Structure formats: C-alpha cells, structure tokens
C-alpha cells in the first residue's frame, strides 16, 4: 500500500512540474539565447529561447479592422452590474481556448476567447458581442483599450523595454513568447 501511495505522489509531483509557467513583464536583455525579463513584481527571470520557441508579435491595429467572424481574446474588467469593459483586445490568427473565465485569479477581471458576432456603437461606447460554445458576452471597448493582432514574430523583436507574456517549461525553456512593441 505504501508503494502505491508513493507512486501516486511521485506521479502527481511530476505532473505538476510538467505544467508550463507563465511570466509577464518587460524585456531587460537578450543575447540570442537567453531572454532576461523583469516580471510584474520587478524580479529578474532568465529564460532559454530555443529554435522551437514560438514567437508572436502584438501588432497594433484599429478596432475598425476587426470584423464579424474574427476570433478574439479580450481581457476585461467587471464593473457595476456585471458590465464588462475591455482593457486589451487581441485578434488571433486561429481559435485558441474558447470560453469566458476569470483572469489572473481575480474575480473582477475576465478573459473571453471567442468569435465576434457583432460590433455596434452603443451609448456606453463601442460594444462587441462575442460568442463561444455555450455562451456569449457583450463587452464595451473604450477608446483607451489596447487593440492588436497576433502575428508571427521574430527574435529581432525581443528588445529591451518590450513587454512580454510568455510560457516556459520546468527547465526554463520558453515554449511561446508574445512580445509587444516597445512603448
């Protein structure tokens, strides 16, 4: 019985270590192999960039470039009465993880990955209706929301000052890097 329990615990530990780790922050340096990032708390993180690392760039676009049928990832804040107001709108090249869920472990922030059903000018601003299997969300997009399209990126965009949102494996190798333009 002890053997079985030890085996179950070992497998559970191995599975938890296999989960990718997310890092958000700002690039402080890149030598062609190691990406240095200051995470959101200001702590330095070193990540290996390999040939198989996927790099995507958040290319700024106008809201008018988004059309019905596009697949978006929208980060929103919940306001009074449950109204969702977008802070970031990302157009994805293909559907990715559809649905609506809390974001970053916060009850007041959500992530909606869904297809644009409609876009209208409402009294409260521009409003998107996003649909996904089992639901739909109406999200207000204020003028100050960050709007971009995810496009293929390159190592040349990994420059100091650029914002990144990446995932890495337990060996600190980057799996996917989303990099934005340097402010």
21-49+158-183 CATH, one of 3.40.50.980, 2.40.50.140, 2.40.240.10, 3.30.429.10: 2.40.50.140
pLDDT at 96 over 70: yes
Cα torsion 15, 105, 100, 113: sign: negative
The Cα angle at residue 28 between residues 22 and 29, in degrees rounded to 5: 100
Q: What is the pLDDT of residues 51-80, one digit of tens each?
A: 999 999 999 999 989 999 999 999 999 998
**Taking Cα atoms as reference points, which of 82, 64, 71, 72 lies closest to residue 120?**
64
Separation CA 145–CA 150 (nearest Å): 16
Token pair for residue 107?
Answer: 């009850």
Give the pLDDT band of residue 9 (cuts 50, 70, 90): very low
**Taking Cα atoms as reference points, which of 137, 147, 145, 136 lies closest to residue 66?**
147
Give the pLDDT band of residue 100 (cuts 50, 70, 90): very high
Q: Can you say how many angstroms the Cα of residue 86 is from the centroid of all Cα atoms in its chain? A: 14
* List of E strands, the chain: 21-30, 34-39, 44-48, 54-60, 71-78, 84-92, 99-103, 106-122, 125-132, 135-141, 146-152, 163-168, 174-179
Give the least confident one: 14-23, 86-95, 131-140, 165-174: 14-23
* Domain extent listing, the chain: 21-49+158-183, 67-149
Q: What is the pLDDT of residues 135-176, one digit of tens each?
A: 999 999 999 999 999 999 999 999 999 999 999 999 999 999
Separation CA 173–CA 46 (nearest Å): 9
């Amino acid at each position: 019985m002890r053997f079985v329990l030890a085996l179950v615990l070992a497998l559970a530990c191995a599975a938890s270590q296999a989960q990718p780790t997310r890092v958000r922050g700002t690039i402080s340096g890149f030598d062609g192999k190691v990406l240095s990032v200051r995470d959101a708390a200001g702590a330095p993180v070193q990540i290996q960039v390999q040939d198989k690392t996927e790099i995507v760039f958040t290319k700024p676009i106008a809201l008018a470039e988004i059309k019905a049928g596009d697949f978006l990832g929208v980060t929103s804040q919940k306001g009074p009465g449950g109204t969702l107001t977008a802070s970031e709108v990302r157009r994805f090249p293909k559907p990715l993880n559809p649905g609506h869920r809390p974001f970053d472990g916060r009850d007041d922030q959500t992530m909606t990955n869904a297809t644009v059903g409609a876009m209208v000018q409402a009294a409260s601003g521009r409003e998107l209706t996003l649909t996904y299997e089992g639901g739909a969300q109406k999200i207000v997009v204020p003028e100050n929301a960050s709007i971009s399209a995810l496009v293929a990126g390159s190592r040349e965009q990994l420059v100091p000052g650029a914002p990144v949102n990446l995932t890495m494996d337990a060996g600190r190798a980057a799996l996917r890097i989303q990099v934005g333009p340097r402010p």
